[in-house]
Amino acid sequence: MPMDVIVIGGGIVGLATSYRLLQRFPDTKLLLLEKEEQLAMHQTGHNSGVLHSGIYYKPGSLKAANCRVGKLAMEEFCQEHDIPFEICGKVIVALDERELLGIQKIYERGQANGVTCEIIGKERLREIEPHAAGIRAIHVPEAGIVDYRQVALKLGALITAAGGRILCGCEVTGISERSSETIVQTTGGAFPARLVVNCAGLHSDRVLRMTDLRPEAQIVPFRGEYYELRAEQHHLCRHLIYPVPDPSFPFLGVHFTRMIGGGVECGPNAVLAFAREGYTKSDVHLGDLLESLTYPGFVRMAFKHWRTGCGEMWRSFSKDAFVKALRRLMPEIRKEHLVAAPAGVRAQALTRSGALVDDFLIQEKGKVVHVGNAPSPAATASLNIGNVIVDKLEPMLRVVARAK
Ligand SMILES: Cc1cc2nc3c(=O)[nH]c(=O)nc-3n(C[C@H](O)[C@H](O)[C@H](O)COP(=O)(O)OP(=O)(O)OC[C@H]3O[C@@H](n4cnc5c(N)ncnc54)[C@H](O)[C@@H]3O)c2cc1C
């Protein structure tokens, strides 16, 4: 008997989708396939753990809509399942007069998206974050922190308890159509399914290419490198301190993030990773690297943004340069306050014309739904992204239920 639904990818998006599916259609025969031996080994287990408020995103975008509703759902989920989280608030600081317009624009987006936030002056900023630089800031009291790996593992346990099956160590290698079924080939054998959902993160474009769809964009892996404050310096950052981001990039710039498990993370930069899962400089996969370097979209982007790219790479090799970037936000920071911390790799979709895809991208064809771009704030938004995908599957799930 075929599975009703196969979900590919045991990161937070695949898990949240499976969880929502079983909540809304409890009789569904669901199988989740994950290539690693454990869940949440990639983006979900290597992120900053911020519950984003939704302040940055273009009103009407999928990011804006999903982040607002998803964040509330995530808080409720954590409360219900005793997962620690904290609504600690954050500040986005303007460092000089030139950044005031940027602050105003972000504030207006926040207002349009229904985010509780206010513009504050220097004195109030010093009360909230005594060690942050800045002449003006936006205070976002509703931003928070959580451990998304913990959320993902809880989702996994709930899926299994609801009758879903999770198979780790099982990599999807091919997808083919056979009359009413889709056959998902894996390293652990072939599984027939009526419907398939691709939530493969850093490999989502490759899984998409296994079907007869052509990806709208290719995933290019960008490594984000971090330092951590030494314990004696934790007091320098009370909550979350962010700069005004460069509007040409979907990255937020180096910032200070207090983590739910303790400690303060500083970073990240954004450099091309030489492997889809290249967490260190020495992780090189020749095929992955060539695929990025020969992709016309990457070449066009590199040509346009070479200056920024060089700056990011310089920060990757020079701790002094990284410290200099951090000192703009917090002048007291010195090199000896920082120790290297684990990096994360972002799955960033890039179009052939060289544009970084900013919004979430969900494509569907026939019986397969693909999540083609789920960058930050997709962890915050995951429980709502799951609902959006189940909405797409709903008509087909009703047909499946009738055929049983
Ligand atoms: C450095 C960094 C910081 C971030 N900070 C934040 C933050 O503070 N807040 C926030 O909301 N978001 C943040 N994000 C974004 C967030 O982590 C991601 O948007 C989210 O984790 C994406 O989840 P996912 O399930 O799509 O991908 P992933 O977590 O990468 O999961 C995809 C899974 O698919 C599996 N897979 C791939 N190919 C196959 C295959 N062929 N067969 C079987 N399995 C396969 C992989 O092994 C992986 O487990 C950050 C991301 C990074 C990298």
pLDDT in tens, 266-283: 989 889 999 999 999 999
- Summarize the confidence of residues 320-341 as an average pLDDT: 94
pLDDT at 109: 95
* Angstrom distance (rounded) from CA 140 to CA 55: 8
| pLDDT higher than threshold 90 for residue 103 | yes
**CA-closest residue to ligand 1 atom 26:** 201
| pLDDT higher than threshold 90 for residue 309 | no
Alpha carbon distances (Å) from 99 to 37, 103, 244: 46, 6, 7
The CA-based angle 61-6-2, given to 5 degrees, is 145
Ligand 1 centroid from CA 223, angstroms: 13
Give the model's confidence band at 346: pLDDT under 50 very low, under 70 low, under 90 confident, else very high.
very high
| pLDDT higher than threshold 70 for residue 250 | no
**Cβ contact 183:255 at 8 Å:** no
**CA-closest residue to ligand 1 atom 9:** 50
Q: Is the CB of 41 under 6 A from ligand 1?
A: yes
* Angstrom distance (rounded) from CA 370 to CA 228: 35
Bridge partners of 219, per DSSP, are 349
Taking only the tens place, the pLDDT of each residue in 147-194 is 999 999 999 999 999 999 999 999 999 999 887 899 999 999 999 999
Q: Is the CB of 194 under 6 A from ligand 1?
A: no
Q: Is the CB of 361 under 6 A from ligand 1?
A: no
pLDDT at 311: 75
Give the model's confidence band at 305: pLDDT under 50 very low, under 70 low, under 90 confident, else very high.
confident
**CA-closest residue to ligand 1 atom 52:** 47
Taking only the tens place, the pLDDT of each residue in 36-46 is 999 999 999 99
Q: Is the CB of 196 under 6 A from ligand 1?
A: no
Q: Is the CB of 43 under 6 A from ligand 1?
A: yes
Alpha carbon distances (Å) from 155 to 74, 82, 327: 11, 13, 39
Ligand 1 centroid from CA 10, angstroms: 9
| pLDDT higher than threshold 90 for residue 17 | yes
Q: Among 15, 19, 31, 43, say which to mutate for ligand 1: greatest number of ligand atoms within 8 Å of CB.
A: 43
pLDDT at 251: 72
Q: Is the CB of 21 under 6 A from ligand 1?
A: no
| pLDDT higher than threshold 80 for residue 312 | no
Q: Is the CB of 51 under 6 A from ligand 1?
A: no
pTM of the shown model: 0.96
**CA-closest residue to ligand 1 atom 50:** 47
**Cβ contact 244:316 at 8 Å:** no
Out of 48-57, 65-74, 234-243, 317-326, pick the least confident: 317-326
Q: Among 47, 204, 211, 223, say which to mutate for ligand 1: greatest number of ligand atoms within 8 Å of CB.
A: 47
Q: Among 20, 42, 51, say which to mutate for ligand 1: greatest number of ligand atoms within 8 Å of CB.
A: 42
Kind of pairing between the strands at 30-34 and 165-168: parallel
Q: Other C-beta atoms within 10 Å of 9: how many?
A: 29
Ligand 1 centroid from CA 346, angstroms: 7
Residues 6+ apart with CB under 8 A from 182: 6, 175, 176, 192, 193, 194, 195, 196, 367, 368
* pLDDT > 70 in the chain, percent: 100
| pLDDT higher than threshold 90 for residue 129 | yes
* Conformational region of residue 206, where left means phi above 0, alpha means psi within -120 to 50, and beta covers everything else: alpha
> Atom of ligand 1 at shortest distance to CA of 345?
53
- Summarize the confidence of residues 231-236 as an average pLDDT: 96
Ligand 1 centroid from CA 379, angstroms: 8
63-82 residues labelled b (16+ CB within 10 A) or e (exposed): bbbbbbbbbebbbebbeeee
Distance of CA 365 to the CA centre of its chain: 24
pLDDT at 219: 96
Q: Which residue bears the tokens 């014309």? A: 353
| pLDDT higher than threshold 70 for residue 123 | yes
Taking only the tens place, the pLDDT of each residue in 364-404 is 888 999 999 999 999 999 999 999 999 999 998 888 777 77
**CA-closest residue to ligand 1 atom 31:** 11
| pLDDT higher than threshold 90 for residue 112 | yes
Q: Among 170, 376, 384, say which to mutate for ligand 1: greatest number of ligand atoms within 8 Å of CB.
A: 376
pLDDT at 313: 81
**Mean of the per-residue pLDDT values of the chain:** 94
